[in-house]
Amino acid sequence: MSRQLLPVLLPLLLLGAWSPWGQEQGPESPSEEPPEEEIPKEDGILVLSRHTLGLALREHPGLLVEFYAPWCGHCKALAPEYSKAAALLAAESMAVTLAKVDGPAQLELAEEFGVTEYPTLKFFRHGNRTHPEEYTGPREAERIVEWLRRRVGPSATRLEDEAGAQALIDARDLVVIGFFQDLQGEDVGTFLALARDALDMTFGLTDQPQLFQHFGLTKDTVVLFKKFDEGRADFPVDEELGLDLGDLSRFLVTHSMRLVTEFNSQTSPKIFAARILNHLLLFLNQSLAAHRELLAGFGEAAPRFRGQVLFVVVDVAADNEHVLQYFGVKAEAAPTLRLVNVETTKKYAPVDRDPVTAASVTAFCHAVFNGQVKPYLLSQEVPPDWDQRPVKTLVGKNFEQVAFDETKNVFVKFYAPWCTHCKEMAPAWEALAEKYKDHEDVIIAELDATANELDTFTVHGFPTLMYFPAGPGRKVTEYKSSRDLETLSKFLDNGGELPTEEPPEELAPPSLEPPTNSTVGSKEEL
């Protein structure tokens, strides 16, 4: 190259090395996006890689990105809804685009955005790569679109007159209107923040005096209008403390539930999200007229326990066998009541078989809260041959008698019928029982912890192995070692603890460095 050309070329070379997108971009950056590369699409969804994410962020002011794995079942279930959501967004001409990233294939992107499970969805606004919002909404197409709609547009409708307010109330089952004398106040910001995520409700707000007067209000109030039960519930804003997001959220969740909710696959998520700890269940057969007549009395008792007890109806003739099993209720026992505290999992049943009326329901609830009814524990019946096999069968009704027998060392496996690990260790447990069947002071037993509950302790994982040594004091030791016959035998032979292994005698000083073919890494790598 001639010396005459250097002064001309050098500035051009320097300019070419300077990234037009800021100093973070460079020829060695893993996020470099060749400008000529087009972003492919599948079913209206952008398919992104580390090369194209930056380009997508520049071109789309609102970008919802799903990080998925091809093998993930939840991702496969989401796929048709995600495609449908993309079509709905396109039809609305909303300024939001859907995209997806194959996480395992694009590990750099998955690591950059802290993806630890699939699917993970993140919403990017105005090209901001560093602070995307985690998507926490439902996974149905319409709800995805509504979640996005409330982020790129207003989350509440501004109401100016009675006609507009009434039209909004009439249009939906659940409508929340914030009446604020100052729409620039801090309470309005709290209200709008809640509205962004409460997708089951439609929100409006107003500062119009005539609307305050029309709805009988004299101060700032949030009003829930609903097309069932009492029709309206008011939440006055505290004049000193202002509007508390948590308090308002709890109020809306509580009052948006029907006084009596029928349990099914659609309502169960709302039932458990209601944050009401006590659930009163009426088990009945909806196909029988005599049972349906009980609903009136059950519902009559509900208002006085609003916010304290959630009233739920379980149809024993529907697909609710798992609910009946959890409460230990047979279909033929209906109609019958059960109360459960979902925090403590304690369950209560009426002492008497009184007819289900408003009075009997009220009395039962008060009796539970006043400590007059003791919780009940599930138990299978004791099998006639429970002690005839090498592995003895325990249930709730005979557990105390057997496990805390002061003349026996009792080793119990708590299992679940569906548990893979329990099935895998079953041969070793049978072999252990066979080995010790002639030891009069040793009992090897098992208990189905999904069908039997114990007052002594709660089993949290399967299988759980517990050792109850002979002697006084009701001592218990949990076994946490290998589940093979040899190790289990050592544990029993050593009185309920594993013998301490003596370290092998050193024949030579240890080497300070691993041999050249060693696979041992550094301490930090381990």
Going by their DSSP bridges, the two strands 221-226 and 232-236 should be labelled as: antiparallel
Which of 79, 152, 324, 419 is the catalytic position? 419
282, 422, 442, 492: which one is catalytic? 422
Separation of alpha carbons 422 and 418, rounded Å: 8
Q: From its phi and psi, is residue 525 left (phi > 0), alpha (psi between -120 and 50) or beta?
A: alpha
How far is the C-alpha of 221 from the C-alpha of 203, rounded, in Å?
A: 13
**169: number of CA atoms within 13 Å, CB side?**
19
In angstroms, the CA 480 to CA 179 distance is: 59
Q: Helix 420-435 and helix 485-493: axis angle, to 10°?
A: 50
In DSSP notation, 172-208 reads -SEEEEEE-S-TTSHHHHHHHHHHHH-TTSEEEEE--
Q: Which of 75, 168, 195, 337 is catalytic?
A: 75
Q: Which residue has the tokens 């557990």?
A: 399
Judging by DSSP bridges, how do beta strands 477-479 and 464-468 pair with one another? antiparallel
Residue 44: what residue type? Answer: G
Q: What is the DSSP letter of 237?
A: P
Task: List the catalytic residue out of 47, 72, 271, 451.
Answer: 72
Please indicate whether residue 422 is annotated as part of the active site: yes
Annotated catalytic residue 419: yes
Q: ∠392-395-398 over CA atoms, to 5°?
A: 85
| Contacts of 13 by beta carbon, 8 Å cutoff, 6+ apart | none
- Whether the Cβ atoms of residue 126 and residue 173 lie closer than 8 Å to each other: no
Residues carrying an active site annotation: 72, 75, 419, 422
